[in-house]
C-alpha cells in the first residue's frame, strides 16, 4: 500500500510538471538599487528629505485584481534607502481622499483596509520572508511569510511608520530596524535581496504590485518578487539582545467550587538573543498569556476535536519550521499542546503552568534552517509535570523545494506508568514547490514511539496542488496507523487511510456579466476514508462546489448535490448533548446543500450569511450563521454573530436546537489605545461568557493590559446540581480580572 501511494504521488507530480513551462522570473526583470542615506531620515510620512529624491523609483504598478493584464488605474511610487540602523521604505499612493480603513488598531484583518505594503525576502529563496503594511491613517501590520504564500500575521515585532493624507494621494514612510529582520551578509560581497511593493486600494477595489502577480495567486506570494541590489553591503546588525519582562496582578473566583477569591501576583520574562543576524535564541521564564484573546466558540457537530490556531507570541516566530510538518489533520507538533493538557479526571483541556522554555531557530545559510525547542511545564492537579523537546531541520533542494526532519519528545516526569511515561515522534517531509508557483505538494512519513511498542505506529501522506488560470487540482492520500499517537501534535483520528480530491474549472466572463462577476469556478469534490479497525469504508462525501467572485468584492460559494456517508465505529449522539446515541455498527447516507455569502466589505455596513440544510444521519439538519458588522469611521466596529442549528431525529433520539450568539465591540481611541469586548451565549455547552480587554501600547511592543472574563450557565438545567443547587440561567461559574504590564528593553 505504501509503495502504491508513493508511486502515485511521483507519477502525478511528474505529469503536472510536464504541463508547466519555466517562465522568466520577476527577479530577472524587476530590480531596484538601494543607496545609503547621506542625511537623517525623520519618519513623519512627509518624504521631504534629500535622500528620498536621490533614491531609485519603483513605479508603473501592475494590476492583480480585477484584471492582471493592465497597469494600475491608481498608481503608486515606492522608494528605498537605509542607514546603519534602519531599512527605510516609502510609498506615494495616488487616490482621492476617500479611504476604506477598518480601524486605527494594529493587525487589521486581511482585505479590510486600504494599505501599502512591502514583502522582503533577504535570502532570496522565494519561500520565506517578511510582510509590513501601513494604512492611510498609519495603522500598521506585520507578518511572517513561509511556504511562498502562507502567512503568520500574529507575529509582533518592533518597527516604525507614519503616513500623511493629501488631496489626491497619501504617503507612507517605514523604518524597519535591521535587528527585526533575519538575514546574512554575502561573503562574496554580492548582496541581493528579493522585494516587492504592493497595494490594496478598496476605494476602486483594485490590487496592484510593482513586480506583477497573476490574479490566480495571492498578493503575498513572495515568489513573484523583484530584486533589491545593495550598492554597498547592508550593515551588520551588531549586538541584538532584548529582554521583555512582565508583571501581572489579578484575582479570580470559582463559584462552582465556592473557593475564596484567589489573588495572583506574578513576574516573568522573555529574552531574545541574536546568535547571528539570522539565528535567534528565545528564552522565557514563567510566561503568562493572559492578554491573548480567547478563542471564539463554534458549534461542534463533529465526532472529533476541533482545531484552534496558536496566538501566543512566544511560539510564533519560525512557527512554520516546527508546525508545518505533516498535514492540517496529521500534524506531529502543535504548540497549543504545551501549557494546555487534558485533565484525566474531567476530560477537559486545562491550563497548565509553563515554568520555562527556550527556542533556538533561524537560518544557517540560504539552504539550511534549524529549530530546537524545549519547554518545561509544572504539575497541576492530576496533570503531571512534563518536558517537551522538538528538533526541526530543513534543507532546501532545487529552486524552492525542501526536505525537513522533525523529532518531537514528551516526557512526563515522575510518572512510572509504562503506558503514559513518554511519547515520541520522528518524521521526514518533502515539500515540493515549482519555480512558477503553480505546483506545490508534500510527501511525509512519521513514526511514533511509546513505552509499549506495537505495530501501526506509522503515519504517511501525499498532497499535490496545481494552480492554473483556468483549472485547479488538489489531491491528497493519507495513511495513519492504528497505534500512531502524537501527544504533542494535532491528530484527531488514527487507524485510517483516506483520499481527497477536487477539481475546479475557472471562468472569466467577457460579456456584460463581467460588469458584475470577476470570475466563477465550479467542480467536483470528494473524500473517502477507510477504517483499518473496521476494515471498511467508514466515511465518504461527494458533491459539486462553486464560487462566484463579484467585482464589488462580494463572494458567494457553497456546494450542492452533496452526499455524506458515515459508518459509526462507536456510539455517537449527533447533538453532542448526552442523549440517546446512534448505535455502533450502523451507517447513514444523507444529502445536503450549503452556501456562504460575504457582502462588499468596503461598505460601512457589511455582513455574511452561511447556511446548511438537508438530511443529517437519520434525521434533518438546518444550520444558519450570520454576522452583521457596522464600521463607525476608523474608531469603532460593532458586530453581531448569530449561529442557529436545528437537529431533528426520530424517536428515541433527541432533537436539539443550538444558539450561539456573540455580539462584539472594538474601539480604537488612537493608534496606541484599544478596547474590545464580546459576549458569547452558547447553549450547546450551557455557557455564557464575557471577555473584555483594554490595551495601551505605550512603546513599540510594550503594552499595558487589563483583561476581564466572566462565565455563567446559559440556561436552566434541572438534571445538574452545583453545590446542592439546581443550575439556573446566569448562575455564575467563574470570574477573573488581570492587569499585565510588558516592556521591551534593548540592551
- Mean per-residue pLDDT for 33-56? 95
CB atoms within 10 A of CB 2: 10
- Mean per-residue pLDDT for 420-429? 89
Q: Give the chain's length.
A: 747
- Mean per-residue pLDDT for 109-125? 91
Domain ranges across the chain: 25-230, 309-493
Dump pLDDT digits (tens) for 607-663: 999 999 999 999 999 999 999 999 998 999 999 999 999 999 999 998 989 899 999
CB 465 within 8 A of CB 441: yes
For the chain, the average pLDDT equals 88
Reply yes or no on whether the pLDDT at 10 is more than 60. Answer: no
CB 117 within 8 A of CB 78: no
Dump pLDDT digits (tens) for 551-560: 998 999 999 9
Query: Any idea what DSSP says for residue 490?
Result: B
Dump pLDDT digits (tens) for 267-325: 988 898 888 888 889 898 988 766 555 555 555 555 556 556 676 777 777 788 888 89
Predicted local distance difference test score (pLDDT) of residue 539: 93
| C-alpha to C-alpha distance for 511 and 146, rounded to whole angstroms | 38
Task: Give the strand pairing for 517-531 and 496-507.
Answer: antiparallel
Dump pLDDT digits (tens) for 724-743: 778 888 888 889 999 999 99
Predicted local distance difference test score (pLDDT) of residue 297: 55
What is the secondary structure of 390-456 as a DSSP string? EEEEEEEETTTEEEEEEEEEEEETT---TTTSEEEEEEEEEEEE-TTSSEEEEEEEEEEE-SS--S-
CB 687 within 8 A of CB 714: yes
The angle formed by the CA atoms of residues 498, 457 and 464, to the nearest 5 degrees, is 35
Contacts of 286 (CB under 8 A, 6+ apart): 266, 267, 268, 269, 353, 354, 355, 356
| C-alpha to C-alpha distance for 604 and 632, rounded to whole angstroms | 7
Contacts of 417 (CB under 8 A, 6+ apart): none
SS3 call for 230: strand
Predicted local distance difference test score (pLDDT) of residue 623: 94
Dump pLDDT digits (tens) for 570-609: 898 888 777 889 999 999 999 999 999 999 988 999 999 9
| C-alpha to C-alpha distance for 283 and 279, rounded to whole angstroms | 13
Dump pLDDT digits (tens) for 400-416: 899 999 999 999 877 76
pTM, entire model? 0.84
CA dihedral 64, 66, 70, 72 (to 10 degrees): -70
- Residue 410, classified by CB atoms within 10 Å of its CB into exposed (0-12), middle (13-18) or buried (19+), is buried
Predicted local distance difference test score (pLDDT) of residue 452: 78
Reply yes or no on whether the pLDDT at 221 is more than 50. Answer: yes
Share of the chain above pLDDT 70, in %: 92
**Topology adopted by domain 25-230:** Immunoglobulin-like (2.60.40)
Query: Any idea what DSSP says for residue 335?
Result: G
- Mean per-residue pLDDT for 123-146? 92
Dump pLDDT digits (tens) for 149-193: 888 887 888 899 999 999 999 999 999 999 888 888 777 777 899
Q: Which long-range contacts (CB under 8 A, 24 or more apart) does 347-356 make?
A: 350/380, 350/381, 350/383, 351/380, 352/377, 352/378, 352/380, 352/383, 353/286, 353/377, 353/378, 353/380, 354/284, 354/286, 354/287, 354/378, 355/285, 355/286, 356/283, 356/284, 356/285, 356/286
Amino acid at each position: 500500500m505504501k509503495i502504491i501511494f508513493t508511486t502515485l504521488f511521483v507519477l502525478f507530480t511528474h505529469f503536472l510538471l510536464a504541463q508547466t513551462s519555466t517562465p522568466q522570473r520577476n527577479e530577472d526583470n524587476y530590480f531596484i538599487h538601494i543607496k545609503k542615506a547621506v542625511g537623517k531620515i525623520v519618519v513623519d510620512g512627509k518624504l521631504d528629505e534629500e535622500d528620498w529624491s536621490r533614491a531609485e523609483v519603483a513605479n508603473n504598478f501592475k494590476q492583480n485584481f480585477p484584471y492582471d493584464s493592465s497597469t494600475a488605474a491608481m498608481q503608486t511610487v515606492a522608494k528605498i534607502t537605509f542607514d546603519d540602523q534602519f531599512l527605510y521604505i516609502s510609498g506615494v499612493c495616488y487616490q482621492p481622499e476617500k479611504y476604506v480603513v477598518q480601524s486605527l488598531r494594529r493587525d487589521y484583518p486581511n482585505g479590510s483596509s486600504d494599505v501599502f505594503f512591502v514583502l522582503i525576502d533577504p535570502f532570496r529563496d522565494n519561500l520565506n520572508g517578511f510582510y509590513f503594511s501601513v494604512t492611510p491613517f498609519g495603522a500598521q501590520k506585520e507578518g511572517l511569510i513561509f511556504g511562498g504564500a502562507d502567512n503568520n500575521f500574529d507575529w509582533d515585532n518592533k518597527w516604525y511608520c507614519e503616513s500623511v493624507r493629501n488631496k489626491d494621494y497619501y504617503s507612507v514612510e517605514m523604518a524597519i530596524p535591521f535587528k527585526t529582520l533575519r538575514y546574512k551578509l554575502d561573503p562574496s560581497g554580492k548582496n541581493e535581496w528579493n522585494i516587492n511593493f504592493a497595494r490594496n486600494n478598496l476605494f476602486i477595489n483594485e490590487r496592484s504590485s510593482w513586480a506583477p502577480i497573476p490574479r490566480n495567486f495571492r498578493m503575498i506570494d513572495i515568489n513573484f518578487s523583484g530584486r533589491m541590489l545593495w550598492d554597498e553591503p547592508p550593515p551588520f546588525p551588531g549586538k541584538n539582545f532584548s529582554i521583555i519582562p512582565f508583571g501581572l496582578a489579578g484575582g479570580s473566583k470559582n463559584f462552582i467550587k465556592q473557593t475564596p477569591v484567589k489573588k495572583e501576583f506574578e513576574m516573568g520574562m522573555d529574552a531574545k538573543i541574536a546568535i547571528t543576524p539570522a539565528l535567534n535564541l528565545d528564552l522565557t521564564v514563567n510566561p503568562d498569556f493572559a492578554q491573548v484573546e480567547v478563542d471564539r466558540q463554534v458549534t461542534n457537530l463533529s465526532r472529533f476535536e476541533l482545531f484552534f490556531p496558536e496566538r501566543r507570541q512566544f511560539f510564533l516566530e519560525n512557527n512554520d519550521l516546527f508546525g508545518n510538518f505533516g498535514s492540517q489533520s496529521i500534524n506531529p507538533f502543535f504548540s497549543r499542546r504545551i501549557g494546555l493538557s487534558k485533565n484525566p479526571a474531567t476530560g477537559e483541556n486545562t491550563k497548565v503552568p509553563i515554568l520555562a522554555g527556550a527556542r533556538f531557530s533561524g537560518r544557517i545559510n540560504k539552504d539550511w534552517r534549524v529549530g530546537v525547542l524545549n519547554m518545561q511545564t509544572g504539575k497541576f492537579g492530576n496533570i503531571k509535570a512534563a518536558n517537551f523537546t522538538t528538533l526541526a531541520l530543513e534543507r532546501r533542494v532545487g529552486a524552492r523545494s525542501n526536505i525537513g526532519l522533525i523529532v518531537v519528545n514528551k516526557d512526563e516526569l515522575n510518572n512510572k506508568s509504562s503506558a503514559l511515561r513518554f511519547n515520541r515522534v520522528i518524521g521526514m517531509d518533502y515539500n515540493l514547490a515549482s519555480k512558477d508557483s503553480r505546483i506545490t505538494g508534500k510527501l511525509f512519513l512519521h513514526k511514533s514511539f511509546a513505552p509499549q511498542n506495537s505495530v501501526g505506529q506509522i503515519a504517511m501522506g501525499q498532497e499535490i496542488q496545481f494552480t492554473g488560470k483556468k483549472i485547479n487540482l488538489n489531491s491528497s492520500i493519507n495513511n495513519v496507523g492504528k497505534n500512531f499517537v502524537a501527544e504533542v501534535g494535532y491528530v484527531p483520528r488514527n487507524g485510517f487511510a483516506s483520499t481527497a480530491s477536487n477539481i475546479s474549472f475557472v471562468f472569466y466572463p467577457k460579456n456584460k456579466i463581467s460588469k458584475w462577476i470577476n470570475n466563477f469556478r465550479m467542480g467536483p469534490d470528494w473524500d473517502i476514508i477507510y477504517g483499518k479497525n473496521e476494515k471498511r469504508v467508514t466515511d465518504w462525501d461527494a458533491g459539486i462546489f462553486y464560487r462566484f467572485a463579484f467585482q464589488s468584492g462580494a463572494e458567494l460559494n457553497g456546494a450542492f448535490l452533496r452526499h455524506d456517508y458515515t459508518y459509526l465505529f462507536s456510539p455517537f449522539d449527533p447533538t453532542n448533548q448526552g442523549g440517546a446515541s446512534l448505535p455502533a455498527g450502523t451507517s447513514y447516507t444523507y444529502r445536503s446543500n450549503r452556501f456562504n455569502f460575504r457582502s462588499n466589505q468596503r461598505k460601512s455596513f457589511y455582513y455574511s450569511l452561511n447556511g446548511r440544510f438537508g438530511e443529517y444521519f437519520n434525521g434533518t439538519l438546518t444550520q444558519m450563521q450570520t454576522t452583521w458588522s457596522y464600521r463607525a469611521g476608523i474608531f469603532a466596529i460593532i458586530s453581531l454573530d448569530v449561529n442557529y442549528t436545528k437537529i431533528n431525529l426520530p424517536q428515541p433520539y433527541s432533537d436539539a436546537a443550538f444558539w450561539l450568539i456573540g455580539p462584539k465591540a472594538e474601539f480604537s481611541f488612537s493608534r496606541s489605545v484599544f478596547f474590545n469586548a464580546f459576549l458569547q451565549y452558547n447553549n450547546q455547552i450551557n455557557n455564557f461568557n464575557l471577555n473584555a480587554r483594554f490595551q495601551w501600547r505605550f512603546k513599540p511592543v510594550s503594552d499595558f493590559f487589563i483583561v476581564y472574563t466572566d462565565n455563567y450557565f446559559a440556561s436552566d438545567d434541572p438534571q445538574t446540581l452545583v453545590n446542592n443547587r439546581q443550575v439556573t440561567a446566569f448562575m455564575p461559574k467563574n470570574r477573573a480580572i488581570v492587569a499585565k504590564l510588558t516592556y521591551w528593553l534593548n540592551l
